[in-house]
Structure 1
Amino acid sequence: MPKANVTIVGLGFVGSSMGLALKKSGADISIIGHDKEPEVAREALKMKAVDRTDWNLISACEKADIVILALPFQEMRETMKAVGPYLKPGCLVTDTAIPKRPVMKWAEEFLPEHVSFVGGNPIISPQGEAAGVKAASAEVLKGATYCLTPSPQASGEAVELTVALVKAMGANPYFLDPAEHDGLLAGIEQLPIIAAAALMGTLSQSPPWRDMRRLGGSAFSQGTASLWESRTFWAQPFLENADNLIRWVDQLIYQLETLKRGLQEQDEEVLSTYFGRAIAERERWYKDKTFGQWEEVPEPPRPPGMLETFLGIRLRKPKE
């Protein structure tokens, strides 16, 4: 059987990390990479995240069995529209963008019926100060939660193949409805960026900022760190998820008002209880994330031998 052809469109941090993880898995696949920035494509090839690159988007995708759109949200619609007519029958298309609801709509609009779309979102972030392709690493996917939002039109085989792909990367598939995904990610992913921007704006636009900035330590650095990770900011993903974000912003304002009242009333008990609860919850979350102690969600059953047949790799069965 010939090798499966996987095309990764977008070879930044996420796309190249996925390529490296698939390479590390030993999967019997050929990985083609495409990026609109030639330097990024050359770097991905140099680090062996892909087997070869193709500067032409259509040429890179037309013979692929699997197409991974590891692109920013704002590039997803036009890319789907461009490649859709050229995808071969049975091709699996997946992505990494948030929010998911508009992406699912675009997939239905622009991808042909003979193609299956399974939305994806790997919960990963760069380690350290590096960014883009230079920050790529197979290790960031090891044990990571990988959200999957299958299209209703996706075949069962395509869903199972996506699960196989995610597991080959070392990540853990987590199935969600697109609307549920967007509501949760608005709070846990987008709200921290909004809060960091508000903090940065509050301080940097105040008269004392010129002197205050010299005093910034770990609390300020950590509180605004999400702005560094999101330094190429685009408003569109936030606007497309505005209904969810507005609810979360309202909740954040309510919590800030609670703290404000505690300060105004000099209520040590209220503040101590509030911070104690917050610290305990943060510690619990960090421990769960570090050790992967999440409640398991059942996956659809996988047909025996499918992963081995298509990707040419074998996963160890869990011990009884």
Structure 2
Amino acid sequence: MNKAKIALVGCDFVGMSLGMAVKQALKEVEVVGHDKDRDAMRRAELAKAIDHSEWNLPRACENAAAVFICAPHEALEVTLRAIAPDLGPNTIVATVGAPHVAALRVAEGLLGGDVPFFSTSLVYHPDRVNDEGELPSADSVRDAIWAIVPSRGTRTQMVDTFVALANQMGAKPIFVDPAERDGMAVAVDAMPAILSSMLMLAVSSDAAWRDRMWMAGAAFGRAVNGAGRAPSFSTALEAQPDVVVHWLNQVMLQCMALRDAIAAHNTESVTRMLTQAEERRREWLANWRRGRIEGHIPIERDSGGLLKMFLGEGMASRLTGNKRR
């Protein structure tokens, strides 16, 4: 059996975690990685997230059964223009992490109507991924929520194939409304990084920072770690100013309430606020550890040829619920 080719465009944490997960889940695949940063490709090869790298983007995606684009949104248009001539109705193309509405708009303008395109985002399980600066493992994708938005006109068979592939990789796929998901991303993806940046600016913006910096150790480092990711959210912030302003206001209201309680020496209120935050954090983690009640989403099943190419006919039949005759 010939190996199916999976192309990864972007060898960052997300790209490497997908490469490792797909190689663990599907034995008969060849994972080819591309990144404009040669060091990133080298790291991915050394980590065995990809089987080999390919500097030429069209060649990396040529004859691929699936192309996962993990590059920044700013690079999406250039990427799709470069690979579009070789894409057909049996090649899954998916962005992973780009804003959903914008990704769908770019794909609609550049790809043929028969190309199955998916705008997606991975939400890693908080127990499995604590720092995206570290190298991923083959289990990083396990139990992650994989938010999926198929483009208009994508055939049911290809949607089924994508969902079955995500399930086989250990993720939990869910269909989302693109605008709603982008709004959620501001609160739970962008805001932590933005607040990390604001803390860094606040603490480092006075003359005493030159001496204070030597007292800022590991705990401070963990708190401001997100500042490194903050610039990558600039496009998302500009695209949804009303949502961003809303969440900044909500954070400021909480900060002002804490400030006022401290200024009034209201120890009870201070303790209550901080305790409530910790209780909600624990509840959030407990819910993740229990998992989504509905489990894997129900889908129409179709044992299409692409799924058989990924998994072989026997495994494809088991995943789709179709019995072999």
Aligned equivalents of 2:24, 2:94: Cα separation in 1: 20
Equivalent pair of 1:143/1:292 in contact (CA under 8 Å): no
Q: 1:272 Cα shift?
A: 2.1
The residue type equivalent to 2:7 in the other structure is T
Please point out which of 300, 303, 311 is paired with 2:301.
Answer: 303
Q: Per-residue displacement from partner, 1:133-181 (whole Å, max 9, x unpaired)?
A: x713212111112211222322212211211221222111122111111
Change (3 A) 1:72 1:44: same
Q: 1:300 Cα shift?
A: 4.1
SS of match in other structure, 1:167: helix
Residue aligning to 2:323: none
Change (3 A) 1:103 1:192: same
Q: What TM-score do the two structures reach when normalised by structure 2?
A: 0.86
Change (3 A) 1:219 1:2: closer
Aligned equivalents of 1:156, 1:212: Cα separation in 2: 59
Unpaired runs of at least 5, structure 2: 320-325
Q: Does 1:280 align with 2:273?
A: no
Q: Per-residue displacement from partner, 1:202-242 (whole Å, max 9, x unpaired)?
A: 110022212222222554233212224x2774622332343
Equivalent pair of 1:9/1:69 in contact (CA under 8 Å): yes
Q: Does 1:177 align with 2:177?
A: yes
Equivalent pair of 1:149/1:175 in contact (CA under 8 Å): yes
Aligned residues: 313
Aligned equivalents of 2:239, 2:220: Cα separation in 1: 29
The residue type equivalent to 2:235 in the other structure is Q
Residue aligning to 2:187: 187
SS of match in other structure, 1:138: coil
Equivalent pair of 2:45/2:53 in contact (CA under 8 Å): yes
Change (3 A) 1:181 1:27: farther
The residue type equivalent to 2:74 in the other structure is Q
SS of match in other structure, 2:207: coil
Greater mean alpha carbon deviation, residues 254-263 or residues 30-39: 30-39
Equivalent pair of 2:197/2:230 in contact (CA under 8 Å): no
Greater mean alpha carbon deviation, residues 159-168 or residues 209-218: 209-218
SS of match in other structure, 2:94: strand
Residue aligning to 1:294: 292
Aligned equivalents of 2:296, 2:140: Cα separation in 1: 23
Q: Does 1:223 align with 2:223?
A: yes
Equivalent pair of 1:73/1:237 in contact (CA under 8 Å): no
Residue aligning to 1:265: 264
Aligned equivalents of 2:119, 2:131: Cα separation in 1: 28
Equivalent pair of 2:200/2:224 in contact (CA under 8 Å): yes
Q: 1:243 Cα shift?
A: 3.2
The residue type equivalent to 1:92 in the other structure is I
The within-5 A match list for 1:43-62 is: 43-62=43-62
Greater mean alpha carbon deviation, residues 171-180 or residues 72-81: 72-81
Equivalent pair of 2:13/2:132 in contact (CA under 8 Å): no
Q: 1:76 Cα shift?
A: 1.5
Change (3 A) 1:78 1:244: farther
Aligned equivalents of 1:297, 1:244: Cα separation in 2: 30
Equivalent pair of 1:190/1:245 in contact (CA under 8 Å): no
Equivalent pair of 2:97/2:122 in contact (CA under 8 Å): no
Greater mean alpha carbon deviation, residues 179-188 or residues 116-125: 116-125
Q: What TM-score do the two structures reach when normalised by structure 1?
A: 0.87
SS of match in other structure, 1:235: helix
The within-5 A match list for 1:139-154 is: 139-154=139-154
Aligned equivalents of 1:98, 1:293: Cα separation in 2: 25
Aligned equivalents of 1:276, 1:231: Cα separation in 2: 28
SS of match in other structure, 2:159: helix
The residue type equivalent to 1:36 in the other structure is K
Q: 1:304 Cα shift?
A: 5.3
SS of match in other structure, 2:140: helix
Change (3 A) 1:213 1:72: same
Greater mean alpha carbon deviation, residues 105-114 or residues 56-65: 56-65
SS of match in other structure, 1:279: helix
The within-5 A match list for 1:1-12 is: 2-12=2-12
The residue type equivalent to 1:294 in the other structure is R
The residue type equivalent to 1:285 in the other structure is W
Unpaired runs of at least 5, structure 1: none
Equivalent pair of 1:20/1:138 in contact (CA under 8 Å): yes
Equivalent pair of 1:10/1:71 in contact (CA under 8 Å): yes
Equivalent pair of 1:21/1:168 in contact (CA under 8 Å): no
The residue type equivalent to 1:296 in the other structure is E
Equivalent pair of 2:186/2:236 in contact (CA under 8 Å): no
The residue type equivalent to 1:263 in the other structure is I
Give the aligned CA root-mean-square deviation in angstroms: 2.6
Identity %: 27
